[in-house]
Chains A and B, each alone.
Chain A
Amino acid sequence: MEILSLLGNGFLVAFQPLNLALVILGCALGLFIGAMPGLGSVNGVAILLPMTFIVPPTGAIIFLAAIYYGAMYGGAISSIMLGIPGASTAVATTFDGRPLALQGLADRALITAAAASFIGGTISIVLFTGFAPPLAAVALAFGSAEEFALMILAFATFVGLGGDDIPKTLFSIFIGLVLSAVGLDIISGQPRLIFGDIPGFYHGINFLVLAIGIYGIGEILWTIESSGGDVNVSQATLTFRRLIEGFRGMKETIKGTLMGSFLGYFVGILPAAGATPGSLMAYGVAKTMSKDPDSFGKGNIEGVAAPEAANNAASTGSMLPMLTLGIPGSPTTAILLGGMVIWGLEPGPLLFVEHAEFVWGLIASLYIANLFSVLLNISFIPLFIWVLKLPFTILAPIIFILCVIGGYAPTQDLHDVWLMFIFGVVGYLMRKLDYPMAPAVLAIVLGPLAEPAMRQSLIISNGSPMIFFERPIAGSIMVVAIVLLLLPLFKVIKGALSKPASGSQA
């Protein structure tokens, strides 16, 4: 009951005219920032942080949180429409969102993304409201061994991602891992794989460069080839009836949406992970759970719902370690944390007691931001559909320019733009040879998290890998991961035993 009265007070704060206006403005800006490739919530919040000094701290964090939230919705838009991930958190949405749009089902994908985001957001805020302190304890219990176990679990869910061709999936994962190792090593401080001494490699390979290259540039090449120079128009349409049907269709995806919401929230509260790994993992689990895993990557609506629910849930989740522990759960919350310091608020366990108005005002504003984002998003869908109807000859140069901006913006280094082009061409060729690309993207996201976690654990254990099994949390996650990893192997062995005559032509 105490929580409800605190939340009630929070709503009183959030409904103050200034704060309400900030929420709406923040959602709209966030939607735009999220939809612009390369301008994710991290850049958006960082750019706007100094603007917040004109309002009181509560208003300031409400504004920034609304941007963060709006960006989670916005990221899906360019992923689905253009095939370029609008933000790092929306990469997984590209996997199935783009194929759906190409099949003329963009409206369905956009509606599903909005609705799943709303559900994921709502579930996570309710969890946040009810169980912040015990969940903070969970976040604290996660050390490097647990973190590594979780990363292995994420990889395990993805081994099934490449259809039945496991060797090609593994190849793709390893390419991603090698790319993620480029740059300066955190533990030893030595540069690795910098190809002689190319300074652009010192900061590593930003995974957006890989994702935009493969999905943006690769997509353009692919479409040019498949259309054979014809000026084709996407047959996207939207009528009121289709809108309603889209919402009715949510029933099919509710399982994936719920799973994505809880998984995303949980991954979000762990320090250092954040919404990008959360949404990728949700995609992998959705595929593993699905009755029809082969349709993933070819336009399965569940492949849109699960990651979209997860990235919204994770964005709320990552505020929890920020507020209670002073540890950012994602790059964006790291900047919000900087903001709190500027406003003179000390994050930590006492924040909920000493600055209840601030904390509960923020939580209440998340409910409002969630509602406004979904309304804004749905009301813009007709506009997005109209853009999609532009002929490819007009759309392609726009996509190309957005790709270049998206590749340049995160690090502001032209080196990355060239790299993006190379990835685009290589990605296109790999796609022609039927290599799955999603596992490579996953590997470059999780590699930089998994590697230091593994090495820290091994330093602690004097090199004994038993540390991953002896600790209760790490051990149980590890066992699940290994079972998942071996599952396809069993399938292969079973397949080979049942028809030994067919030989090995693969």
Chain B
Amino acid sequence: MKTLFRSAMYTILGVLVMAFGSLVAPQDAGAWEPRKPVDFVIMAGKGGGADKMARLMQTIIEKHKLSTKPFIPINKPGGSGAESLIHLKNASGVNKDHTVMVTLNSFYTTPLRQPGLGVDISTFTPVGRMAEDTFLLWVHKDSGITNVDQFVKAAKAKGNNWIMAGTGKGQEDQLLTSFLNAAYGLNMKYVPFKGGGRVAKELAGKHADSTVNNPSEQLGFYQAGTTRPIAAFTPDRMELFPDAPTFQELGQKGIPVYFMQRSVVGAPGMSKGAQKYYQKVFSKVYKTSEWQDYMKKKSLRGAFLTGKKLKKYWAVEKDIHQKMLKDIGEI
């Protein structure tokens, strides 16, 4: 009961802090520490893969007391993440050191597609790559499709009326759709929805014919037998879905191995002290058993990257995405 009461008091305190904004406390000398709650921006909608992951990170931070100030998640999914990028770019004053963002591949594609935003991702502060998420091609089990050949045949028959649901325009899902269209001579129609969770539901409700969801988004329906993965965009078969071959295995050279980064990035111009602080927090998050369990359960992969290595990774990925977007005529 005592813990309960205490947590209730903290809660009320937390609410007050939220409501009255930042009453800045004087800062002690020594290592940098946040002086107010940290804005934890999520570059995607509520309920999607990025969102669930961000909330897991937030909880791990609280549970292991990795930060002296709480991380407050804010979803800014607008315009394929453009809203978040602008928010980070415009962070000024004390916010520069108190704004971090959970990001995905729209981190590369959105600024490439919208030069007008004036976002240069190389100015953003690297904090940590937490994982790489995987993609599979999904169909409804009632379609009777069990392999890629049947998929291609069915999609060809329906032509432009075959609906591929995905998240946002010019994002990962649309890239993969374009690759599938090009490699197999299909003409699938891409329809954007808000968030991967919603996309998964569109397939389960048969409002779409196929999706390229991440495992975590389809897992519930997959376990219930509603939806079925027929191929993976990974280099080798996934433990979780042993029956789904990879496109590499099928000898389809036109479809690249493709991952989704799950990274944390700080506002441009973040101070060295703050940068170090967040890198430490998230490297600790990565090592917790909760994070490792989550990675295993949702078929995530990839080591923790930070600092220069992460910047280099971004530079490489950005070039790859630039080429992909050019290939499909998006830029």
Contacts and interface: CB of A to CB of B under 8 A. Distances in A.
A50 B38 CA distance: 14
A203 B42 CA distance: 13
Interface in B44-99: 46-47, 51-52, 54-56, 58-59, 61-63, 70, 72-74, 76-80, 82-83, 86-87, 90
Interface in B11-62: 11-12, 14-15, 18-21, 39, 46-47, 51-52, 54-56, 58-59, 61-62
B256 interface: no
Interface string B122-151: 000000000000000000000000000000
Interface in A202-220: 202-204
A246 interface: no
Contacts of A351: 220
Nearest to B201: A327
A46 B73 contact: yes
Contacts of A131: none
A93 B110 CA distance: 41
Given A49-B59, A191-B79, A349-B220, A202 B52 contact: no
Contacts of B10: 51
B200 A342 contact: no
A272 interface: yes
Q: Which of A44, A143, A186, A462 has the most CB of B within 10 A?
A: A186
A188 interface: yes
Contacts of A204: 78
A53 B78 contact: no
A460 B201 contact: no
A419 interface: no
Q: What secondary structure prevails in chain B residues at the interface with A?
A: helix
B19 A341 contact: no
B288 interface: no
B207 interface: yes
Given A326-B200, A334-B46, A334-B51, A186 B224 contact: no
A54 B79 contact: no
A460 B191 contact: yes
Contacts of B54: 338
A143 B168 contact: no
Interface string A174-205: 00000000011111111100000001001110
Given A49-B59, A54-B7, A327-B201, A187 B15 contact: no
A342 B59 contact: yes
Contacts of B11: 29, 47-48, 51
A224 interface: no
A338 B55 contact: yes
Interface stretch (A3-11, A33-41, A153-161, A258-266): A33-41
A140 to B, nearest CB: 4
B219 A346 contact: yes
B82 A191 contact: yes
A53 B62 contact: yes
Contact of A202 (B78, B113, B193): B78
B114 A140 contact: no
Contacts of A140: 201, 204-205
A348 B201 contact: no
A189 B170 contact: yes
Contacts of A33: 15
Nearest to B3: A54
B56 A341 contact: yes
A356 interface: no
Contacts of B73: 46
Contact of B221 (A29, A51, A54, A348): A348
B160 interface: yes
Nearest to A188: B169
A383 interface: no
B202 interface: yes
A49 B290 CA distance: 16
Given A328-B197, A342-B59, A348 B220 contact: yes
Q: Which of B52, B54, B90, B290 has the most CB of A within 10 A?
A: B52
A30 to B, nearest CB: 11
A459 interface: yes
B226 interface: yes
A346 B223 contact: yes
Interface in A448-471: 452, 456, 459-460, 462
A171 interface: no
B250 interface: no
B80 A25 contact: no
15 contacts: A47-B18, A49-B55, A49-B59, A50-B63, A187-B192, A189-B80, A189-B82, A202-B83, A327-B47, A334-B46, A344-B293, A408-B21, A412-B39, A456-B193, A462-B160
Interface of B: 1, 3-4, 7-8, 10-12, 14-15, 18-21, 39, 46-47, 51-52, 54-56, 58-59, 61-63, 70, 72-74, 76-80, 82-83, 86-87, 90, 110, 113-114, 160, 163, 168-170, 189, 191-194, 197-198, 200-202, 204-205, 207, 216, 219-221, 223-224, 226, 290, 293-294, 297
